[in-house]
Amino acid sequence: MEALKKNPAWKGRKGPLVLVIMDGVGLGKYREGDAVLDSKMYNLAAIREKSPFTTLKAHGKAVGLPSDEDMGNSEVGHNAMGCGRVFSQGAALVSNAVASGAMFRGTAWRELVDGVNTSGGTLHFIGLFSDGNVHSHLDHLKGMITQAKSDGVKKVRVHTLFDGRDVPETSALLYVDSFEAFLKELSTGGFDARIASGGGRMWITMDRYGADWEMVHRGWDVHVHGEGRRFSSAREAVETYRAETPGVIDQDLKEFVVFQDGRPVGAIEDGDSVVYFNFRGDRALEITAAFEEDGFDKFDRGRRPKVCYAGMMEYDGDLHVPRRYLVSPPAIDRTMGEYLAASGVRTLAISETQKFGHVTYFFNGNRTGKFDEKLENYVEIKSDVLPFEQRPWMKCAEITDYVLEAIPSGKYDFIRLNYPNGDMVGHTGVYEAVVCSLEAMDLQLGRIANAVEAAGGVMLITADHGNSDDMFEHDKKTGAVLLKADGSPRSKTSHSLNPVPCVLYDCGYAGEYKNGTDSLKTGLGISSIAATCIELLGFVPPEGYDSSVLEKR
């Protein structure tokens, strides 16, 4: 990798560039349900009032997703910000592979199918059971099951992870009923396909960054061993849990196992094949490790069946995890981090556990590790292991404490940090907690702004996608808030399709670009953050990078 070219017209700054990513903080379309607007974010407002400002697209095609009806997410958002360009992402790649049939001509699919056809075993599918298109899509699952039948597979079992996060919070039965009908229609001619187990995505299986391995343990016991509370169907499980815990949302539903004739219908046995059908990597790595690693020590797996295991995609390109995958991920190269390391830029990347991988792994183009050990420092602040609505301020103060020491230290030229508050608390659907989380974050923005000003640095504030800006369900035609039976607003726990802010707080401005409050370029996406940071560090952006937001004089 060649070093970046210095910009001779750049006069330089005394202090570092600080990139602040307010995860899940967009600019809302509706007044009602906009927790960002309802929060007393006085510091952000004050910074924005006196600083250049623009909005950036953070969803759909602007971040490599199939259409502009697709919400952005933290994975593709950090990919775009870190690599400065737009790559076709998991959802689009998998959809194309299923539609074209390329997936089913690949070696991995043939090994899965041939294995169970030879052994007489079962083909299992584990993954997020929705069409949210952030981690998975049910159309992909349906396409694979249909193809499995065509390829001679006789028995399929599906292990459902209920969403309620990227889709409406209590929509599980809509998906269960339509999917059961699909399976019933397909189950003819000796083909047998059923739902075997499941639970909420925030209760079983889908942990990330080692935050709570017990989630994965519960999922392993349910999916693999068929050990868990017994029900005759997925519908019965959902209805029972909702009756027992009024107000529970899908992502928090407890585990269930479907039993028939006194036996689980879908325990995983030797000779079976298993597909983890999520295409997004962060919540796929831990369950993959449980299936693949011989020296696994995070929990006692008990009986470990000998299976043919595959992920939907390669979840870690450096470690080559999983060993077998159905669709190749985007080959993201020439990331900003790699260029900065080659140019001698000293970098700090920091967040708490829930988003640590985003400011490191995803920001670096799905790459584990550092580009230069001497130039880069990655800091993880351990997240609390409890529902985020119970501790909505999360670790934003602790992140800030570290950054406040880093800014004046002279050790770093570039500091990037992620505050998870707007996204992680936004996903809970608890409005008051979201407001609390944002106001706590705003206090930290004020602290950082003061430190940046004292150091003569620059602060660039943006977000990876919206969420907390759209907390109620709205009628798509009228915009009216949709109500529950009791007359209260229906909570929305998924990401929004709204743009995100981009605020440039340049305390040492020296005339290199137009600096009015409305002078930043418009119509760009968050992929422009990379070129913007490179310019603010005094370099010329690489060829092929999307335009910086800076408007030249």
| pLDDT surpassing 80 at residue 66 | no
Sheet (strand 458-462) strand order: 376-381, 347-352, 414-419, 17-22, 458-462, 500-506, 53-57, 524-525
Q: Which ranges constitute the DSSP H helices of 388-430? A: 396-406, 421-424
Q: Worst-scoring range by mean pLDDT, 292-301, 315-324, 451-460, 544-553?
A: 315-324
- Both tokens of 86, joined, read 């737009």
Whole-angstrom Cα distance, residue 184 to residue 192?
Answer: 9
pLDDT at 550 over 70: yes
Q: What is the mean pLDDT of residues 433-444?
A: 98
Provide, rounded to the nearest whole percent, the portion of the chain with pLDDT above 70. Answer: 100
Contact in structure between 526 and 500 (CB atoms under 8 Å): yes
- Predicted pLDDT of residue 318: 59
Residue 453 in tokens: 């000003």
pLDDT higher than 80, residue 316: no
Cα–Cα dist 221/227, whole Å: 5
Containing 533, the helix (H) or strand (E) segment is helix 528-536
CATH architecture of 17-88+332-536: 3-Layer(aba) Sandwich (3.40)
pLDDT at 477: 85
Residue 172 CA: distances (Å) to CA of 17, 72, 178: 44, 22, 10
Greatest CA separation found in the chain?
A: 77
What residues are labeled active site? 74
Residue 341's pLDDT is 98
Best CA proximity match to 187, nearest among 247, 229, 232, 145: 145
Reported confidence tier of residue 160, pLDDT bands at 50, 70, 90: very high
Residue 343: the pLDDT is: 98
- pLDDT on residue 437: 98
Specify the pLDDT at position 36: 97
Is-contact 19 415, C-beta < 8 A?
Answer: yes
pLDDT in tens, 339-393: 999 999 999 999 999 999 999 999 999 888 999 999 999 999 999 999 999 999 9
Alpha carbon distance 178, 160 (integer Å): 14
Per-residue pLDDT tens digits for 464-514? 999 999 999 898 889 999 998 899 999 988 889 999 999 999 989 999 999
The pLDDT of residue 140: 97
Q: Which one is predicted more confidently, 322 or 73?
A: 322
Tokens describing residue 158: 């599906």
Given a cut of 80, whether residue 306 has pLDDT beyond it is yes
Q: Average pLDDT over the chain, rounded to whole?
A: 95
Q: In CATH, which of 2.160.10.10, 3.40.50.2300, 3.40.1450.10, 3.30.70.1090 is domain 91-327?
A: 3.40.1450.10
315 pLDDT above the threshold of 90: no
**Closest C-alpha to 74, from 24, 142, 117, 120:** 24
Tokens 């529970």 belong to 248
Please state, in angstroms and rounded to a whole number, the distance separating the CA atoms of residues 519 and 512: 13
* pLDDT computed for residue 317 by the predictor: 66
Position with higher pLDDT, 119 vs 281: 119
User: What does the domain layout of the chain look like in residue ranges?
Assistant: 17-88+332-536, 91-327
Dihedral, 89, 90, 96, 98 alpha carbons, nearest 10 = 180
The 10 Å Cβ neighbour count of residue 64 is 24
Residue 22 is predicted with a pLDDT of 98
pLDDT greater than 90 at residue 281: no
**Across 152-166, average pLDDT:** 96
pTM (2 decimals)?
0.77
Residue 478 tokens, joined: 């009228």
Quick one: which of 411, 437, 436, 412 has its CA closest to 423? 437
